[in-house]
Structure 1
């Protein structure tokens, strides 16, 4: 099993960050560009990966009381992960994304995963910032 984790501070309350991150209809605004999530019967979703042109049955479980979003493959032991939001102070939050590849066959490698996680966190921060600006304006 291989695990990866990245974190990023965001200038918003944890509730705002979690609401943006856990919105199934807006996941593609911050996930890696090649991943597309289609909601089914919650918590079931299907994840389409452009590079492999492949659909994967998955589960997506928001846990608002814990500010945590959990996911993983549904029928095999490919991967699991979570996004955790924590309040820091003065209206800022820290977002941590953790991925576990249970089968090395599914692991695209450290560099690819870290770059994808960093890009995703950056995109999430941009979405949170836009949401906050629109709410204020």
Structure 2
């Protein structure tokens, strides 16, 4: 099993960050550009990966009371992940993303995953900033 984790501070209260994270219609605004989530009957979703041009049945659960999003492959059990939003004393939030690959062939490798996590958290921060700026303006 291979695991990866990244964290980033977001300029908003945890509730605002989690609202952005858990909005299934806006996942494409911050997920890696090559992944596309299509809701079925939640928690069931399909994930299309441009790199392989394949659709993978998956599960996606949002636990608002825990400020946590969890996901994973449905049938193979090759991959799981979670995202946790935690409030900080300064009115900001810390977002942590954790990925676990149980099948080595499903793991794209350290550089690819690290780059994708960094880009996704950066894109999420941009979306959070837009939301906070629009709410304040």
TM-score of the superposition, structure 1-length normalised?
0.99
Q: Which runs of 4+ in 1 moved over 3 A?
A: none
In the other structure, the counterpart of 1:19 is 19
In the other structure, the counterpart of 1:103 is 103
In the other structure, the counterpart of 2:43 is 43
1:4 has 2:18 as partner: no
CA deviations on 1:42-96 (whole Å, 9 max, x unpaired) are 1000000011110000000000000000000000021000000001112100000
Q: Structure 1: where are the runs of 5+ without partners?
A: none
What RMSD over aligned residues (CA atoms) do the two structures have, in Å?
A: 0.5
Measured in 2, the distance between the counterparts of 1:122 and 1:91 equals 19
In the other structure, the counterpart of 2:128 is 128
Q: Structure 2: where are the runs of 5+ without partners?
A: none
In the other structure, the counterpart of 1:83 is 83
